[in-house]
Structure 1
C-alpha cells in the first residue's frame, strides 16, 4: 500500500490519492509512517510528502489526517534510536507543510511541543526543529485562539511571546536543556524574550552533568550572538567560580566542601576553548568579558582570581586586541590583593571589616599545574614576566614582605612552576629570562638570575638544548654589571660539567673580557675565572703555578677536563686559568685587589690548588719584597707607584697582597700539619717554606720600622691638594694597612 501511495503522489493523482487515504484508518497510517522511518522499507520522505499531498486542509478529514501524520512523524522522530539524516529530511518535509495549517492547528502544535517539554519526553532535538517554524508562522497571524483551559484570543506576536514564556516557566529535565537551547537559536525573539530565555538556560547550568556543559555553553554562545553577551559571561563565570570554590581547600588541607570531580578541569578547558573561539569570531564578546573583569576587579579582586576566570582571561589575552586590557586588570587585581592582605595584617579594624583575601599564590600554582590547558600556558608565562617586570626590586629601601616584593616573587613562582610542569613553554621562558638579564644593565636583575638558577637546577637538559641562546648571552657578558655577570655565571655553572663546548665558549669570552680596555669588563672576566676556579674541583695533587704559564690549547683542555678515566682532569683547565689571571697582576689596582681577595676563596673552595695559588701570590710579593735584612723597610713602597708627570698613581695594593699571602699561608700550614708525609711533595714543601720565611721576615722587620724608614716624616706634607702630598698620603695609607693586617 505504501508503494501505491507514493506512486499516486508521483503521478500527481491527488483525487485518487485522497480517496485511497480516506479508506485507511489512523492506525494503518501510523503503521505506514513508523515502518517507513524505522525500517526504510519505503522512502519515508516521499511517503510523508504523499500523505500531506493527499490530505488537503480545506476538508475536515484531510485536516485531521494531516494533523495525525504530523503527530505520528514527530513521535517517531523523537525516538532516540533513529538516524539523524533520515529524521532531518522528514522534519524538513513537515516544515514546508506547516504554513498550510490554519491558525487553530498551529496553536495545537504549539501545545503539543509544550506538553512534550513539560513531560520531559524530548529524547533528541529533531522533533523540536519544527517548533521555531510553527512559532514563526503563528506570529504573523492577526488573531490566535487560545486552546486548553484558557479562552479568548491574542495577536500572533503576543501568542508567540506567551508560548516562549510558558516554555521557559515550566520545569526542564536535564536531558532537554541542550536541545531547547539549540531550538531557541532559530526563534525570532525580542530583546526581552531573549533575555528571559538566556536567564533560564543559565539557571539550568546547575542541573546538568559536567560532560553536558561544553555543548550547552556552545549553544549559549550562539544564542548570545543575538544579544546579552554579558549576561551569559557573568552566568558562566559565576557558575564555574562556584565550582572552583567547592574544590578549594583551607590552609590545613581539609576540604571545605566536596572535592571537585576529576573531569572538572577538562570540562573548564573545553569551555574556555569555546569562549575563546567565539571571541575571535565576535570581538564584541571579548569586549564584554573585559568589562565584566573590570567590574569584578573594582568590586573584589578575589572574584577575578578564581581559576576559571583567570584561565579564561589568560586565554583571551592571546587575542592581540584584548592582550593589554586583560593583563592590566589581572596585574592590578593581584597587586590589590597583596595590598589588601597587608592592610588586614596591619589594622585590626581592616581585619574585621574587609573580606578575606584569597591565597593568590596557591591559586596560580594550581593553574600552573593543570594539564590539558596548553592554550592558557602562554598567557600564564606572559603574566609571570609582567609581574616581575612591573615590580622589579630596588637596590635600596626594598623590604622582603612588601606587596611589591610579594608580587614579584609570585611572578617568579609562576614561571618556575610552569617551567617544571610544561615542556612546551620551557624554551620560551628561558629565552625571555636571558633577554631580560642581558638588557637589565641599569636595574637589578637578581630576581631573574634566581629564576634562571632554579630552572637550571631543575632541568639542565633544557638549557643544554638551548646552548645557542646561552652562548649568545655570554657574548654580552662583558657589558653587564658585575653583579649580573657573576649571577649569570653562577646560574649556568651546573652546565659546565655537562657541556665541553659551552665551557670552552665561556673561557674564550672571559679571556676576551679580561684583556679588554674597559675596567668593568676586566672585572667581569676576572670574576668569571675566579668562579670557575672555585667550582672546578681538582681531585688529584696539583703542580706549582710556574707551569701555569705553559700554553694550553682548547682541544687539550677539552680532553683533559672531560676524560672519564683521569680523576684530576680539571687540573689542566685550572692551570690555564691561573696563567690567564696572572696577567691581572700588571693591571689596575682595583683589578689586583679583586684578584687577591678572590684567590683566598679559591684556595678554600678548591684545596688542591693551594700551593699553586700560594706560589702565584709569593712571586708577586717578591717584586716588592726587600730581601736585604740590613734595610729596615721590608717592602719597597716606591715600586708600588708609577709617576705620570708630577702625579703619582698607586698600582699595587700591597696591604691586600700581604693579607692574601698570609691567609693562604695559614691554610697551607694547617694542611701541612695534618697531612701524611707521603702526601706532601718536595715542591709543595719548598713553596710553603719560602713563603713562610718571607712573611716572617716582613712581620719581624715591620715591628721595628719607623715612618722615616719609608721616607715618611711626621712633618712631611700629606695634603692631597699637591702631588707630593698626595703621594705621601697614599704611602702612609699603604704602611698603615700593611702593619694593621700583619
Structure 2
C-alpha cells in the first residue's frame, strides 16, 4: 500500500527547475507536480526561502506555466497574498521583475473567489503607508481596480457596492504620499463603479495633498487630472484646483524659482493641449475667472494667455483680461471718492488693483521659462491695453503705485521686446499697422511705445529700419500731430543710421509739394527737428548713450559708431527756403525752429543770419511810425559772446512788413534809432 502511494506522488520540482521549465516551456503538458494540490504548500513556501532577488523571477516563472483556471485558485490565492505581503514589507526588490510578476497575477484575478479578492484588495490598501518616495513602491495599485471591479459585478456576495465603497473609503482615509497620489490619479479612471460623491471627495483630497508631490512629477499629475476632467469627471473642481494650487503661495514652495517657472510652463502647455481636445475645459476656465471666484494672479494670467492661442478663445480671453483690469481700476476709483467706505476697504481695493497689474507683468517676465507659446498672446494683450481708454486720470494715478492700462500695456511690450527676439518683428509690424489704421487719439499711444523702444533699444530697432521706412511712406496721409510725433521719436536713430536720415529727408521733400496745409506744416516741423537733433548729437554725445544704456544683451553686437552728417542745416537750406515761401503758419514753424537751433548750438547763429537776411530784406519795408524791437538772446549767454559785434533777435511788428506777416532775423549791430529791449 505504501509502495503504491509513493508511486502516485509526482516527483517534486525545485525553484530552479521551475525557472528552467518556464524558460523552455512549450505546448507540452504541464508537469504533474504543479497540478497536484499537495504541492501547493511547497510551492508557496519557496517564496520565503529563496533570496529576495530570486522571488519575483520564481513567481513569474510559476505563473507563466499556469494557465488561468478556477481549478488553480487554491494555489493562486495564497500565492498572491504571500507575494503582496513580501512586497509591502520590502522583503523583495521593487523593480521590473516585480512589475512583470504583478502583470501576470492580473490575468488570474478573474478566477479567484470573491471573498479572496476582498482579502487581496485589503492587502493592497494596507500597504499604502509603505509607499513613500519610490514610484515602484506603488506597483501593487495596478491590481486594485480590477479586484474591486470584479467584486462590484459579482453575485456571490450581498451588497457588493457597499463592499467596494468600504474599500474606497479606506483609500480616502489614508494620508497620501506624493508617489501614492500620482499613482491613484493615474488609475482613478478605471474606478468607473465609484459614485460621484466619492469621486468628488477624491478630487478634493488630491488637491489637499498635492503639496506633497515632487516638482518634477507635477506636470504628469496635472496631465492625468486634465484627462480625468475631459472624461467628464468634476471638470470645474479639477480646473479650479489646478489654478488655486499653482497660483497660491503654498503651492510651489519647493525647488528653485527657475525650476518652478519651468514646471508652470509645462503645465500651461498641458492645459492648452487639453482645451484643444475638449473645448469645454476652456469655458470652465473663463467661467471661473468671470465669476470672481478666483484671484487674478500670475498663473491665471498665464493660463488665459495660453488658452488665447486657441483661435476660438482669443477674443474672449482678451476681453476677460481687459475687463478684470478695468474692474479693479473702477473699484479703486469708486472707493477713493466714496466717503462712507472705511479706509481699510479703500486700501484693499487699491491693493487688488496693484496686485492685478503685478500679476500681468509677472506673467510677461516669466514668458521665457518654457512658455514661449504665450508670447503672441502677450503682444495682443499689450496692444489692447495700449489702445484702451484710461479709467483714471494721471492725477488719480499719482502716488498710488498704479500704472494704468496704457502704461501697463507699454511696459508689457517693452519687456517683451527686450527679452524675446522672436517678438520684436511682430511688435514693430503691429506698431506700423496700428499707427496707420487707428484714430489719431489712439495712435498717439502706439507712437509713444515706438519712441520708448527707440530710446531704450536703438540697436535692436536698427534691424527693422525697413519697416520704419514703410511707415514713413505714409507721411502725407497721417494726421499732422501723429506724423510730427512719429518723426520726433525716430530722430534718435539717425545718429546710427544715415540711411534712415536720408529717407526722412526724401519723404519730407515729397511732403512739401503736397497741397494740404497740415502736411506741409508737419514737413516743416520735421525739417527743423531733424536739424536740431543733428546739432544736439554733436553737442551732447554721451547723453544719448546714457539714456539708452539698458540694452538687450543680444543687441550689443550691432553697436557701431554714430553716423552724423557734416552739416545738415546747409543740406536742408533749400527745403527751408521753400518753407519761407509758404503760408504764415509754415513760416512761423521755421522761425521758432531756427530760434531753438541757435539756442541749442550758438555757433550756428551766423549761418542762420545769413540764411534769413535775404528773405528779410525781400519782405521788409521800414515805416517810420513804428519801432522795431531788438531782443538779446538772454537764454544762452554764449549767443551774445560769439562775436565781437554780438547777435540779436529782431521781431518786426506786423505793420512794418510789406506782406503783413511777422518776420525774424539775426543782425550784427543795432540801429541807434531802435528801441532796445
Bucket of the pairwise TM-score, normalised by the shorter protein: 0.7 to 0.9
The structural deviation recorded for 1:405 is: 8.3
User: Given the two structures, how large is their TM-score scaled by the length of structure 1?
Assistant: 0.73
**Aligned residue for 1:92?**
103
Change (3 A) 1:587 1:224: same
2:333 to 321, 337, 342: 342
Cα 1:734–1:535 shift into 2, 3 Å? closer
Tell me the secondary structure at the aligned position of residue 514 of structure 2. Answer: coil
Displacement, 1:338?
A: 1.2
1:12 is the counterpart of 2:29? yes
Cα separation, partners in 2 of 1:186 and 1:482, compared to 1, 3 Å = same
What secondary structure does 1:110 align onto? helix
Does residue 271 (structure 1) correspond to residue 264 (structure 2)? The answer is no
Question: Aligned-residue CA RMSD in angstroms?
Answer: 4.0
Distance 2:676 2:606 in 1: 22
How far apart in 1 are the matches of 2:675 and 2:163?
Answer: 105
User: Is structure 2 residue 434 aligned with structure 1 residue 436?
Assistant: yes
Shift of 1:61: 4.9
Q: Map 1:38-437 onto structure 2 (within 5 A).
A: 45-50=60-65, 52-53=66-67, 57-58=70-71, 61-68=74-81, 71=84, 81-83=94-96, 86-120=97-131, 123-144=136-157, 154-188=158-192, 189-226=194-231, 227-243=233-249, 263-296=259-292, 303-350=294-341, 351-353=343-345, 355-356=348-349, 357-358=351-352, 359=354, 360-370=356-366, 371-372=368-369, 373-391=371-389, 400-401=395-396, 406-437=404-435
The answer to which structure, 1 or 2, has the higher relative contact order (CA under 8 A, 6+ apart) is 2
Q: Distance in 2 between matches of 1:158 and 1:67?
A: 24
How much does 1:425 deviate?
1.8
Deviation at 1:517, TM superposition (A): 2.1
CA distance in 1, matches of 2:87, 2:626: 115
Q: Structure 1 residues 29-38 or 17-26, which shifts more?
A: 29-38
Aligned-pair CA distance for 1:615: 1.9
CA distance in 2, matches of 1:673, 1:194: 89
Gaps of 5+ in 2: 1-16, 540-559, 664-673
Higher mean C-alpha displacement, 597-606 vs 465-474:
597-606
Q: Distance in 2 between matches of 1:539 and 1:399?
A: 32
Structure 2: how far apart are the matches of 1:103 and 1:17? 24
Structure 1's 308 and 740: CA in aligned 2 closer, same or farther, altered over 3 A? Answer: farther
Q: Name the CA shift for 1:196/1:585 in 2 (closer, same or farther; >3 Å).
A: same
Shift in Å, 1:10: 4.2
Retained in 2: the 8 A contact 1:33–1:48?
no
Q: Which moved more, 1:200-209 or 1:15-24?
A: 15-24
Corresponding position of 1:592: 587
Pick which of 615-624 and 166-175 moved more. Answer: 166-175
Structure 1 position 591, deviation (Å): 1.8
SS in 1 for 2:500: helix
Q: Report what 1:26 is aligned to.
A: 44
Q: 2:470 aligns with which of 472, 480, 484?
A: 472
The alpha-carbon distance between structure 1 residues 261 and 320, as it changes in their structure 2 partners (threshold 3 A), is same
Structure 2 length as normaliser, TM-score? 0.80
Structure 1: runs of 5+ lacking an equivalent: 145-153, 248-257, 542-562, 636-657, 678-684, 712-729
For 1:78 and 1:486, the matched residues in 2 are separated by 83
- Superimposed CA distance per residue, residues 528-561 of structure 1 (whole angstroms, 9 cap, x where no aligned partner): 11111111128999xxxxxxxxxxxxxxxxxxxx
- How far, CA to CA, are the matches of 1:324 and 1:286 in structure 2? 13
Using a 3 Å threshold, how does the CA distance of structure 1 residues 538 and 243 change in structure 2: closer, same or farther?
closer
Paired residues in the alignment total 615
Residue in structure 1 matched with residue 14 of structure 2 by the alignment: none
Residue in structure 2 matching 1:452, options 414, 432, 450 = 450
- Following superposition, the deviation at residue 346 of structure 1 comes to 2.2
Cα distance, 1:333–1:518 mapped onto 2, change above 3 Å:
same
Residue 572 (structure 2) aligned to one of 574, 577, 587: 577
Q: How does 1:540-619 map to 2 (within 5 A)?
A: 570-619=565-614
